[in-house]
Amino acid sequence: MDNNFNERGVMITRNGLSAGGQIFSLREIQSTRVETIQKNKVLPLTLSLAGAAVAAAGAVRSSGAALTLGVMTIVVGLLAWTTQDIKHRLMVSTESGDREALSSPDPDFVKRVDQALRGALASIHGATAQ
């Protein structure tokens, strides 16, 4: 069996794509695309602003507990922002619809898988056209 691609648990052979416990037949795959999912801005911003409001109210009323709670909430908002990853995922289109085949924070890896998959698809579609 030819292994066109075998890296990080993703394997593309002349017959299929195996990634993340899923197996896709190359004959069923119509197209592929890479999507990028950006960081969520709403939750960290909301937490930080609420923390700033509570910390300001605690400072005005001389409440150490409110000031501490506000500062802690600001820190949680900042941690929520910094610990998020930008996700890149490989979407595969079949007759039954679009499915996520692969998700990774490494955009170069997802692009390499996409290029290898497109090459395998081109060889399959080229062989069936002859």
* For residues 79-106, average pLDDT: 89
pLDDT range class, residue 68, cuts 50, 70, 90? very high
Q: Is pLDDT of 82 > 60?
A: yes
Q: State the Cα–Cα distance between residues 24 and 27, nearest whole angstrom.
A: 9
pLDDT value for 3 = 58
17-33 residues labelled b (16+ CB within 10 A) or e (exposed)? bbbeeeebebeebeebe
* For residues 100-124, average pLDDT: 88
**Secondary structure of residue 73 in the 3-state scheme:** helix
Task: Outline where the chain has alpha helix (H).
Answer: 42-60, 64-82, 107-129
pTM above 0.75, yes or no: no
Pairing type for strands 10-13 and 31-37 reads unpaired
pLDDT value for 14 = 80
Per-residue pLDDT reduced to its tens digit, 36-55:
989 888 999 999 999 999 99
